[in-house]
C-alpha cells in the first residue's frame, strides 16, 4: 500500500472529472498498456447488471482477449440506466480508443458508484484527453497507479494497492493489484472492483489463471453477502517476464489478491476487526469455502466478534446450517489458538483466553474443523458493529 | 394474543422450575391432550441438532403419529450435550408419561435456551408432577395456555399466541397457535418454536397439512438467516370438530400461523418495523418465496428500512442475486403503495412519499415484481437497527 510500481508494460493516471461532488476526491482513472495484452475478466453473478458489464463482455468477445486500456469512473454506477447507459459506456470506450489509436473493443470501461443515474458524458469526455496523455507519460512508478487507485474509490477509507515480485529470467517480475472495497454493505454501490496486472508470461490462458485466482481470493471475501451489479475483477498480463518457475506466478497472484481481499474486509464500514475464518477437515475445498462464507456472512458470528465474545456455539451452528457434510461429534471449534469445542464437549474455562484474542488483536481468527476430510479454505470478513448499521441506515439522508 | 382458549381436547400449564435465573419468568410448560391425538413435527435443517430433535424423531417413528403430551423447557437448549443430553430428554419424557399413564413415545420433550449446558434434571423432575396435575385440571381456557406460552419464552419481549375459528358441524372449531420467537438473531438460542393445536378433523395426514402450512408461513419468516439447532414446529389435532368445508381448516391454520410469524418478525431485537416483503410476477411460488427470503435477509434492505430510506436499488439488487429468473426491464419495485422503479426507469420524485410510508407506519411493505410469471409470495422480517447489533454483541457479557 506504500510505494508500489506497476509491472513492466503498464501505465496509469487518475484525475477529478467532476462526477463526484467537489472535495470527494478523484473520480476518473485509466490503466494503459504499451500494447494490447492478454486480459480476462469475471463479473458479478447478480441478474441486475451495470451497463459496463454488458459492454465489457461484448468487447472481450470481439477483441480476442487482448486489451489496451481500462477506464474506470467512480461516483456513478451507470446501472439501471437502460440502453442509454450502454451507449454512454460505449462512447467512453470510443473516446479512449480514438486518443490511443486502437480499436474500441480493446478498451474496457468500468463504473462504480450510485445506481440509477446516467454518466455525465460531457464531463467524462472533457477530462479524458488530458488524463490519457498523463497516463502515456507515466513511467509506471508509484505515483500514477496511486492516482488511479484513488480515482476508483467510493466510500473506501483508504486506497487498496498491493504488489508481489517473482524471480524471472532477465530480472524480477511483478504482480500489482488494485482494488476498491466494499465498506461493510454498500447499498447502491458497485461493491468491489479488482485489477491484477502483471508482466508475467501466464502459465495458462488469462481466463483460466483468473478463475483459479479469484476462486481462492475474491470469492472468499464477504462483507454482507450482497453482490453488487457492478462487481468486476480483471487480470491483465504483459508477458514481458518469464518466471523461472510457473508456480511463482500463481503464488504472486494469490499473494497479491489475498492481501487486497484482507484490505477490503478490514475496510468494512464500522469494522474494528479483520476476521479470518479458517475451515479445515472438509470433504472438499469447495465445501470448506462454502462453510467459511456461511460463517463469515452470519450476523451472529460477526456481532460476537464485535462484542469480543468467544461464542463458539454461533460458529458451530453456522457451520451446521451450511448444508455440507459435517460430523458434529468429531468437529472442533477454535478462536485464535484456543480450542473451545472438541469431541462433542465445550471448554468454558478457556473462554477468557479466546476473549483476550478478540479484544487484543486487530486481526482475529475463527476456526472450525468439520471432522469429515482433509480439505480447507480461509475466508475473510470483518465484525458487525452498531456503527455499521448507523452508517448504512443513514446512507442517503 | 389477548384471551385465547385452546381447542377442544387440549389443556396446558406453565411454571417456574428453576432452569432460568430467578426473576426471568416461567421455564417449564406442558401441553396435554385428553387422548393421544395425531401430530406431526418439522425440525431445523441445521446439522447441529438439539438432543430433543433426535428423541422426538425417534418417538414420532414409534408412536404412529399419536401424541399425548408435549413438555417444553426454556433456559437450556440441551444442545451439543452428547449422549447425556439425549438421555436427559428421554428421562423428561418418561417422567411425563409415568404421571399420565401413557407410553413414553407419546411424549415429545422440547428444549430452548443456551447451547452447551445440560438440563438440570433434578429441578425438572421435581417440578413436573405438580405441573402435570395443574394442566390436567386446566379447563382449556386462556389462563393455562398463556402460562405455557410464557414458559417457552427466552428473549421474546412478549408472548406469542394466536387463534382462529372455523365453522364446523356441531359448533365452532378452532386453531390455537403458540410460538416463541427469535429476537433478531439469537445466538446460542433455539430460535423458533411453534405449536399449532386444533380440534379440526384434518383434511389430510398431519404430516402433509403441517408441511403445507409451514411452507407458507414459518418458512417465510426470517430474522437473520441463521437457523438454530432446535427449531421445531408441531401440528396437533384432536379431530373433535368436522369443518363444514375442509378449506376452512387450511385457512384457519394459515391465518393463525401467519399471525404468529408476523409477531416473531415484529419482536426482532432492536426492531422498529415489521416488514412484509411482497414478491410477485415470479415463475413459481418457490422462486417468489426464495427471492422474498433473499431480500428479507439482506442487511442492505433491513438497514434501509431502519433509516426510513426508500432505497429501491437495494431491493432490486437483492432480487437480482437470488438466482431465479427475473427480467430487469419488466421488473417493478414498490415501497408501500408507491412504485419507485418500472419499465427500466427509476422515479426519484416519488421517494418522499415512500419515505413517509417507512417513517409513519409500524408495518411496512417492500415489493418487487420479477416480470417473468404469475406467482407470488409474502415473506416477513424486521428492520436492522444499531440497537440490535448492540444487544447481540453484548449478549453474553
B229 and A320 within 8 Å at the Cβ level: the answer is yes
Query: Would you say residue A339 has pLDDT above 50?
Result: yes
Q: Which residue of A has its CA nearest to B386?
A: A386
Taking only the tens place, the pLDDT of each residue in B93-112 is 999 999 999 999 999 999 99
**pLDDT at residue A184, as a whole number:** 47
In angstroms, the Cα distances linking A125 to A14, A46, A91 are 14, 29, 9
Distance CA A230, CA A10 (A): 24
Model confidence band, residue A365 (pLDDT cutoffs 50, 70, 90): very high
Record the pTM: 0.81
Model confidence band, residue A186 (pLDDT cutoffs 50, 70, 90): very low
Taking only the tens place, the pLDDT of each residue in B350-373 is 999 999 999 999 999 999 999 999
> What phi and psi, each to the nearest 5 degrees, are found at residue A301?
-75, -35
**pLDDT at residue A315, as a whole number:** 93
Measured between beta carbons, which residues in chain A are less than 8 angstroms from residue B388? 389
CA distance A174 to chain B (A): 35
B199 in Cβ contact with B7 (< 8 Å): yes
Nine-digit cell at A241? 517476464
A85, A298, A321: best to mutate for the B interface, most B CBs within 10 A? A321
Distance CA B176, CA B182 (A): 20
Q: Half-sphere exposure of residue B324, counting CA atoms within 13 Å on the CB side?
A: 27
A11 in Cβ contact with A37 (< 8 Å): no
Distance CA A173, CA B109 (A): 66
**pLDDT at residue B187, as a whole number:** 38
**pLDDT at residue A190, as a whole number:** 46
B237 in Cβ contact with B69 (< 8 Å): no
**pLDDT at residue A226, as a whole number:** 67
In angstroms, the Cα distances linking B206 to A48, A254, B60, B214 are 42, 54, 12, 12
The per-residue pLDDT of chain B, averaged, comes to 91
Q: Please report where in the chains the cell 454498500 appears, as a residue.
A: A186
Which residues in chain B (237-296) have CB-CB distances under 8 A to chain A?
A: none
Distance CA A42, CA B52 (A): 46
Query: Would you say residue A324 has pLDDT above 90?
Result: yes
Q: Does A318 touch chain B (CB under 8 A)?
A: yes
- Categorise residue B308: left if φ over 0, alpha if ψ from -120 to 50, beta otherwise: left
B47 and A328 within 8 Å at the Cβ level: the answer is yes
Which residues in chain A (15-44) have CB-CB distances under 8 A to chain B?
A: none
Model confidence band, residue B45 (pLDDT cutoffs 50, 70, 90): confident
Model confidence band, residue A182 (pLDDT cutoffs 50, 70, 90): low
Inter-chain Cβ pairs, chain A and chain B, closer than 8 A: 201
Portion of chain A with pLDDT greater than 90, in percent: 74
- Annotated catalytic residue within B15, B191, B301, B338: B191
A226 and B394 within 8 Å at the Cβ level: the answer is no
Query: Would you say residue B346 has pLDDT above 70?
Result: yes
**pLDDT at residue A82, as a whole number:** 87
Distance CA A42, CA A233 (A): 5
A132 in Cβ contact with A96 (< 8 Å): yes
Instruction: Using CB atoms, pick whichever of B226, B394, B395 lies closest to residue A298.
Output: B226
Query: Would you say residue B41 has pLDDT above 80?
Result: yes
Q: Does A326 touch chain B (CB under 8 A)?
A: yes
Instruction: Using CB atoms, pick whichever of B307, B317, B390 lies closest to residue A395.
Output: B307
**pLDDT at residue B136, as a whole number:** 97
B272 in active site: no
Q: What is the mean pLDDT of residues A199-226?
A: 89
Query: Would you say residue A221 has pLDDT above 80?
Result: yes
Which residues sit opposite A168 in a β-bridge? Answer: A171, A243
Q: Does B323 touch chain A (CB under 8 A)?
A: yes
DSSP A348: G
Q: Does B70 touch chain A (CB under 8 A)?
A: no
Taking only the tens place, the pLDDT of each residue in B177-217 is 999 986 544 434 447 899 999 999 999 999 999 999 999 99
B394 in Cβ contact with B388 (< 8 Å): no
Q: Does A345 touch chain B (CB under 8 A)?
A: yes
Q: What domains are defined for chain B?
A: 10-266 (3.60.70.12), 274-393 (3.10.20.340)
SS3 B322: coil
β pairing state of A274-282 and A363-369: parallel
Q: What is the mean pLDDT of residues A345-349?
A: 89
Q: Does B349 touch chain A (CB under 8 A)?
A: no
Distance CA B356, CA B183 (A): 26
Q: Which residue of A has its CA nearest to B383?
A: A393
Query: Would you say residue A397 has pLDDT above 60?
Result: no
In angstroms, the Cα distances linking B44 to A275, A277, A320, B120, B368 are 28, 24, 10, 24, 29
CA distance A21 to chain B (A): 19
Which residues sit opposite B367 in a β-bridge? Answer: B278, B334
Amino acid at each position: 500500500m506504500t510505494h508500489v510500481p506497476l509491472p513492466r508494460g503498464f501505465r496509469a493516471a487518475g484525475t477529478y472529472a467532476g462526477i463526484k461532488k467537489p472535495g470527494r476526491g478523484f473520480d476518473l482513472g485509466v490503466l494503459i498498456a504499451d500494447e494490447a495484452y492478454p486480459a480476462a475478466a469475471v463479473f458479478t453473478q447478480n441478474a441486475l447488471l451495470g451497463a459496463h458489464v454488458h459492454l465489457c463482455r461484448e468487447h472481450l468477445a470481439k477483441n480476442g482477449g487482448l486489451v489496451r486500456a481500462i477506464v474506470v469512473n467512480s461516483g456513478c454506477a451507470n446501472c439501471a440506466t437502460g440502453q442509454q447507459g450502454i451507449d454512454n459506456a460505449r462512447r467512453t470506450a470510443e473516446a479512449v480508443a480514438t486518443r490511443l489509436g486502437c480499436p474500441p473493443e480493446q478498451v474496457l470501461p468500468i463504473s462504480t458508484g450510485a445506481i440509477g443515474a446516467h454518466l455525465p458524458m460531457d464531463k467524462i469526455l472533457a477530462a479524458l484527453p488530458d488524463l490519457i496523455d498523463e497516463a502515456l507519460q507515466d513511467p509506471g512508478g508509484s505515483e500514477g497507479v496511486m492516482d488511479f487507485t484513488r480515482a476508483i474509490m467510493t466510500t473506501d477509507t483508504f486506497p487498496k494497492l498491493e504488489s508481489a515480485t517473482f524471480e524471472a529470467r532477465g530480472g524480477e517480475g511483478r504482480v500489482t493489484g488494485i482494488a476498491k472495497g466494499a465498506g461493510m454493505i454498500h447499498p447502491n454501490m458497485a461493491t468491489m472492483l479488482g485489477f491484477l496486472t502483471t508482466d508475467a508470461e501466464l502459465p495458462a490462458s488469462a481466463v483460466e489463471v483468473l478463475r483459479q485466482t479469484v476462486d481462492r481470493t475474491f470469492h472468499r471475501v464477504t462483507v454482507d453477502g450482497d453482490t453488487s451489479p457492478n462487481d468486476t475483477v480483471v487480470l491483465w498480463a504483459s508477458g514481458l517476464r518469464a518466471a523461472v518457475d510457473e508456480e511463482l506466478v500463481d503464488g504472486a497472484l494469490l499473494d497479491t489478491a489475498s492481501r487486497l481481499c484482507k484490505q477490503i474486509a478490514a475496510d468494512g464500514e464500522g469494522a474494528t476487526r479483520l476476521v479470518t475464518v479458517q475451515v479445515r477437515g472438509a470433504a472438499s475445498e469447495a465445501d470448506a469455502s462454502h462453510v467459511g462464507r456461511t460463517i463469515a456472512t452470519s450476523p451472529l458470528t460477526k456481532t460476537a466478534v464485535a462484542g469480543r465474545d468467544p461464542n463458539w456455539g454461533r460458529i458451530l451452528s453456522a457451520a451446521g446450517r451450511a448444508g455440507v457434510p459435517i460430523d458434529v461429534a468429531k468437529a472442533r471449534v477454535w478462536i485464535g489458538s484456543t480450542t473451545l469445542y472438541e469431541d462433542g464437549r465445550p471448554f468454558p474455562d478457556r473462554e477468557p483466553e479466546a476473549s483476550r484474542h478478540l479484544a487484543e488483536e486487530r486481526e482475529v481468527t475463527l476456526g472450525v474443523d468439520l471432522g469429515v476430510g482433509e480439505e480447507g479454505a480461509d475466508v475473510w470478513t470483518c465484525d458487525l458493529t452498531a456503527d455499521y448499521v448507523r452508517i448504512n441506515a443513514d446512507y442517503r439522508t
